[in-house]
Chains A and B, each alone.
Chain A
């Protein structure tokens, strides 16, 4: 006969309270994930068949300058020692300098990440606001014209190259109709007017009461955000439709209808309530993908975000920037996962 468990046994950290244990486990998971990510990225950067010294000094430098830079970058030390030094610096908040921009990587990221976050947040909002109702309606009216429309929208969203749609969007809404402003975050006349607080121009201009800048910035962001929102919507609506169809075929829905509940109560009060948990995961993933930076969108719209920052840095062999960006993205991914876990517990009483 098995012995009964005493208090604390069976948990990973029996010496801690359940709450502290969970916190400790979460922190350890985050640290291990980020460290692993860092290790893999660092090693890929070091074993790539390209010379980081040349990225710094250019091809015209003398051998003496080459040797000096080689030592200054610490490349004469064993790989593991280099990695150890890098991790020690990162822990102290020092990501090193970008060889491409000549600035601290932390400064660069603080500049480019808010731009991506602003774009991704608005894009996700558009995607969710349009995608969730569209998915629900498509499921409820399965086979109807609106269901066909939702599927068509989804198909276009999955199959159309984003750079092509972006250029066409610019041509039509900016070039021909003139409804929106062109590329970049703000018009040249408004540059430098708003002192950054969060780095997100819409929020900063609103806080400062610079409404002309706000309107201009909104006019610049609306097209790229709508584009990202469209792709987000395509994904969210398809998943919502699929989740809803599963729920609407359940016995409890039939029972609710038999009991005489209105269609609104059946759809939103019962079926939709039960897909919220899955939707949270879907939306979190969509948001994380946009936060990663949509490189092509950023390039077409001259949006100085983290996606184009990391890509350009990678092509220039600027590994400090690539590593710094990777840590930020990795941490954001982990953070969003943790946040969706928390929401999971909130929506699902069984998980509490």
Chain B
């Protein structure tokens, strides 16, 4: 018997001892940044194709653009980067960029206007999902050779189909798709006419501060310095982003000092860090909005007074002070705060008397059955349950239809929902990104299939508001443009079937010695090159 016990004990002891023998790292090296994040959405690093959050984080640090945002002064808007300056033709349709000196790709090749021409043309020609950001200016695979032209190494000329607001054009060029790739390297790796797309999915060839040296999908991304970077040498010479799914695991690693930044902590874990001297939490307003939308094909929900009643019967403060605390702030307009023309007004509050009064004036004073279509994500379920409760107080019979993201989205795009409980993030840092979907519907017919427009998905026919939205995008006076968006939002708040409720706050926890961590605000992505420890 003793022999049995000794055997088992020895086995356990050997395993634990072997593990314990390994020294456990106390903190990361001073020139290395280690981040825990959920990065399983990365599909590609090709700026012509990348359209995911974690991919944008990598792209911003790897690819420079013609114009870009200063991470330490995001409010200043776009500023020159690869383009030193630009001019607009008198008719407003031609933008001519003069390239800046001294920018070099990580491959050692200098950045020229030919690279910019190649990068923007290939984004249109490849026709991947984010290509609409460029094609909305009239660029097509058939005309790019005439509309995107570099007559020499220093000059790039873009010819637009309309005299768009220059702020609109330049804001779009700060998006991931505006990243300039090394033409020579991309074409050297071309396969079957893909302009290097397959190669650039897993490799990078940019002139930004970093280059990707290793990527293991759903595991880690490793970036080292671009030795030819033209800017000041970043303090973080190596950046490692690890995929850590669990919030509790991220918190443990942060407290142990094995990572510098934890990007996906739950409110409970953020609260648990309070009072810990060696870690801090930095809040940042992001662009994601939480909203509900009422399908105008449903007779009851097409009654404006019913929708108004539902807006008054939404407990904005109650939600943001309880289960959304620290994660979302009340916001009721379709442009996120910090965007040009964002409207700060919050006309609705939880007021059951006003809600009942509005419902009484409607054609459905007793309300009726309402189905909320919601995906199985915790925060959306929590919000839906709150709506179920407060709308129930109006006499509505609210049922939650819970499904996977794809199931609820299918129903939404097919215009089969009653109420869709959703989230929306900007595609590029210009007000048109949200205005063109919340406040524009080019053709409300079923057969039009305008699934990209949220207004169409909710069968909201708005020819007049669509005209105003289209007018705002060609307004070149920035103040007038901002006012135009504020006016559209004010009208949208009053009569749209959208109940915009909250804007995202991102809470990033980090070691107290980490400085200048900027997640990107509402307009862009994270910038590692300004971080110091």
Residues of A near any B CB (own CB < 8 A):
49-51, 54-55, 57-63, 65-66, 68, 98-103, 108, 111, 126, 129-130, 133-134, 136-137, 141, 167, 170-171, 174-175, 178-184, 187-189, 191-192, 215-216, 218-219, 222-223, 226, 299-302, 304, 308-309, 312, 315, 317
Contacts and interface: CB of A to CB of B under 8 A. Distances in A.
Among B7, B11, B201: residue with most chain A CB under 10 A: B11
Nearest to A126: B15
B402 to A, nearest CB: 13
B245 to A, nearest CB: 5
Interface string B5-43: 101100110011011111011001100101000001011
Given A63-B450, A192-B213, 18 more contacts: A54-B413, A60-B51, A101-B217, A111-B216, A111-B217, A170-B248, A170-B249, A181-B24, A181-B25, A184-B219, A184-B220, A188-B34, A191-B220, A215-B18, A218-B22, A222-B18, A302-B246, A312-B218
Nearest to B16: A179
B342 to A, nearest CB: 21
B18 A130 contact: no
Interface stretch (B77-85, B91-99, B251-259): B251-259
A139 to B, nearest CB: 12
B4 A58 contact: no
B362 interface: no
Given A57-B129, A304-B219, A189 B25 contact: yes
Nearest to B411: A49
B40 A60 contact: no
Contact of A101 (B12, B25, B218): B218
A130 B249 contact: no
A182 B406 contact: no
B8 A103 contact: no
Binding site secondary structure of chain A:
helix
B132 A188 contact: no
Interface in B61-97: none
A215 B7 contact: no
B160 interface: no
B214 interface: yes
**Top-8 shortest CB links A-B:** A219-B22, A50-B406, A101-B217, A222-B19, A304-B219, A102-B43, A179-B20, A180-B19
A223 B252 CA distance: 15
Contacts of A101: 42-43, 217-218
Given A191-B220, A302-B242, A219 B24 contact: yes
B245 A302 contact: yes
Contact of B40 (A49, A55, A312): A312
A49 B410 contact: yes
B58 interface: no
A49 B28 CA distance: 46
Contacts of A134: 8
B110 to A, nearest CB: 29
A300 B44 contact: no
